Amino acid sequence: MSRKDSKGMFANVLVGLGQEAAPVATPPASPSPHLLKVAAGVRQLQERGELADKLLQGADHIIELDVDAVLPSHIRDRFDSAYDTDRLQDLVQSMREHGQTTPGLVRPMAGAAGKFQIVFGRRRLAAAKLLGVKFRAIVRDLTDEQAIVIQGEENANRDDLSFIEKCVFALSQEEAGFKRDVICASLATGKSHVSEMLQIAKVFPKAILEGIGAAPETGRRRWAQLAERWSANGNAQKTAEQVLEETTPLSASSDERFAAVLSAVSKTEIISPKPVERAQEVVSKGMTLAVVNYAKAGTKLTFTKAVPDDFVNYLLRRMERLHEDYLGESQEAVQTIKTK
């Protein structure tokens, strides 16, 4: 990462942390509110730049930590596969040749002397573990809200998190009890967008999302499409599990696994639940005469043993007349409805 990029990233870290900057000359007053707003923005950038310079140049601000002293955050922003050894090879090679040029950010763990929690720099920490070297980091006292927002801002600066990783990041925050405005700030987006991301993340079991992976080339539209078809398919999870067993990470990329799941869930016949069979007793003077079973194959009337054959024959003789009476009453009802 270039020094310019580092300055921009650490400018975000310093926002809201109560740091004091060297005074910057105030530009001449302007009668134009627009120009005053622009001038204020320039001053803010200058102040942040000076603070970033001090932070990066001051050796006492950056310390080297044993990798075992740095504990993971309880809110993840990447899938676990992002830290696989084969996914870190380029970063490991760069750090082997040039060292860790950009420090991470950690905060002290309350009640755990000598332990720190990672805020950002997880991949650099993982690479340091593989290389067997210390992890260079800035230490800051941060609240939970400050830490999660800074973690999200650093992701926004890199712009390499996939859409579904951002959805899972938002859901993890909600499950941890963070308020919606904090989640919005960590993702630098509005409440409506965050609501959609949460809805999509909640549709899928976590095991399915892990099986598919980050799918870096798959955006919001296709994930929303899968969520819709998933919800309409009663066999979606079983279908997806079968697909993911066949398309392992060794045989297909994450985006290819997503496409395979989408195709399978879309093609699988949606199984409607079986109609529930009903039964109704025919009771007269406390005695059950018959049982009526309503089923898809047809309705059946079964007389009980308590009913004599003479009554059954009596009913059969009157069946035709009863049916005619029924048809007559039905026609009268139809005519009444038409005349109203």
Are 164 and 130 within 8 A, CB to CB?
Answer: no
Domain boundaries for CATH 1.10.10 within the chain: 143-203
Q: Which two tokens stand for residue 196?
A: 């959609």
Q: Which residues pair with 293 in a beta bridge?
A: 279, 300
User: What pLDDT shows up at residue 169?
Assistant: 87
Give the DSSP letter string of 33-73.
HHHHHHHHHHHHHHHHHHHHHHHHH-GGGEEEE-GGGEEPP
Within the chain, which residues score under 70 in pLDDT?
A: 1-61, 77, 79-87, 153-160, 268-278, 286, 330-340
Global pTM exceeds 0.95: no
DSSP per-residue codes, 274-322: PPPPEEEEEEETTEEEEEEEE-TT--EEEE-TTS-HHHHHHHHHHHHHH
- The token pair at 285 is 């003077």
> Looking at this protein, which amino acid is placed at residue 213?
G
pLDDT at residue number 255: 92
Q: What's residue 83's pLDDT?
A: 60
Which strands sit side by side in the sheet containing 278-284, from one edge to the other? 278-284, 287-294, 300-303
Architecture of the domain whose range is 143-203:
Orthogonal Bundle (1.10)
Looking at residue 178, what is its pLDDT?
87
Give the residue from 144, 96, 95, 150 showing the smallest Cα distance to 124. Answer: 95
Segment 246-262, tens digit of pLDDT:
887 777 888 999 999 99
Which strands form 135-139's sheet, in the order they lie side by side?
62-65, 135-139, 104-108, 116-120, 70-71
Amino acid at 219: G
Q: Which of 3, 43, 37, 36 is nearest to 22 (CA)?
A: 43
Residue 261 · residue 218 · CB < 8 Å: no
How far are the Cα atoms of 228, 269, 297 from residue 275, in angstroms, in the given order?
A: 24, 17, 11
Check residue 218 and give left, alpha or beta (phi > 0: left; psi -120 to 50: alpha). beta
The pLDDT of residue 214: 87
Q: What are phi and psi of 138, to 5 degrees?
A: -95, 135
Quick one: pLDDT at residue 82? 60
Look at residue 7 in the predicted model and tell me its pLDDT. Answer: 46
